Homo-oligomer: A and B are copies of this chain.
Amino acid sequence: MFYHEKRLQYFTPPERPDAVYAKKLQELIGGSLGEMTVMMQYLFQGWNCRGPAKYKDMLLDIGTEEIGHVEMLATMVAYLLDKAPIKMQEDAAKDPVVGAVMGGTNPRDVITASMNPQHGIVSGGGAMPADSVGFPWNGRFIVASGNLLADFRSNLHAESQGLLQAVRLYEMTDDLGVKDHLSFMIARDTMHQNQWLAAIEDLQSEGLEETVVPKVARQYEKSEFSYQFWNHSKGEESGQGRWAKGPSMDGRGEFQYVANPQPLGPEPEAPQPDPRLHGTAKTPQASQSSASSAKGEPNVIDRMVEVIDRITPGGQQ
């Protein structure tokens, strides 16, 4: 269960409205790597966590913090959209003298034509659960697999991309209010990168996971291919990296560089199409209804059905 505190975790108002920047800032709210993503990702991971209590609690702590980050950014967008210029100025364009001196445009027109139109028409000056091109946030953006190492690696990646985007946005504005606001969020993202690196270490030191996740994989794999780098292009620049030689990162093998990889499988020879699906076959098929099924060697299911038919009173099919 959750409680709301009316004050924001942190907030500095912008020096002035900026509708074009508001559009860009939406990326941090509803982008595939924005705050809605980490909020939902951490909450679902926490709700689905069956590991030690410290992980579940930690996930829900940070997930709850992130709801507040969406709140901070939504508030910032509302300020940035204040008195947004909604209408293009026809007047300047109509008066050729003004038009010439003004270049036929004025500051408002550039902004008006370039702001997210839904910020005016749909949300009436509020933030939206969408990214900087207006594409809505969706549930496929998050990951919660039940395996904490796989998920913490996803979290580390999300915070890395998120911080990168916050920094890019920081540098796209001169507004000291916005910059101050973002500097708090950047600090939190720094913490969160540190946090997930620490959590990965913690998980491994507890003996819960190993380098390659999930542990069971090594029982199933064709291990002769587990440490080979296949060079799928001409030229061997890719042979110069750490991944191409030396001990593997899991300490169980040695990297090999396969300079000229060859296919190990056959040319696929898929079975002929089922006549009932009217795909194109190798030879013209008599036009026929589905009643007559494809002849040839019967498959496993067909054989099973035949046996069942034989032992069943009345048979069928």
Complex: A254 Cα to B94 Cα, angstroms: 43
Smallest CB separation, A17 vs chain B (Å): 6
Complex: A121 Cα to B150 Cα, angstroms: 13
Give every chain B residue within 8 A of A228 (Cβ-Cβ).
191
Q: A4-B2, A75-B268 are in contact. Are A280 and B198 (CB under 8 A)?
A: no
Complex: A161 Cα to B314 Cα, angstroms: 39
Q: Among B53, B129, B147, which residue has its beta carbon within 8 angstroms of that of A124?
A: B147
B-contact bits for A1-19, CB 8 A (1 contact / 0 none): 1111111111100011100
Q: Among B78, B220, B267, B268, which residue has its beta carbon within 8 angstroms of that of A270?
A: B78
Q: How many chain A residues touch B (Cβ–Cβ < 8 Å)?
A: 240
Q: Among B44, B57, B70, B211, which residue has its beta carbon within 8 angstroms of that of A233?
A: B57
Give every chain B residue within 8 A of A99 (Cβ-Cβ).
107, 304, 307-308
Structural contact, B171 and A193, CB atoms closer than 8 A: no
Give every chain B residue within 8 A of A307 (Cβ-Cβ).
96, 99
Residue among A2, A5, A143, A193 having the largest count of chain B Cβ atoms under 10 Å = A2
8 pairs of residues in contact across A and B, judged by CB atoms under 8 Å: A4-B234, A11-B266, A44-B126, A133-B133, A138-B140, A190-B250, A194-B226, A219-B287
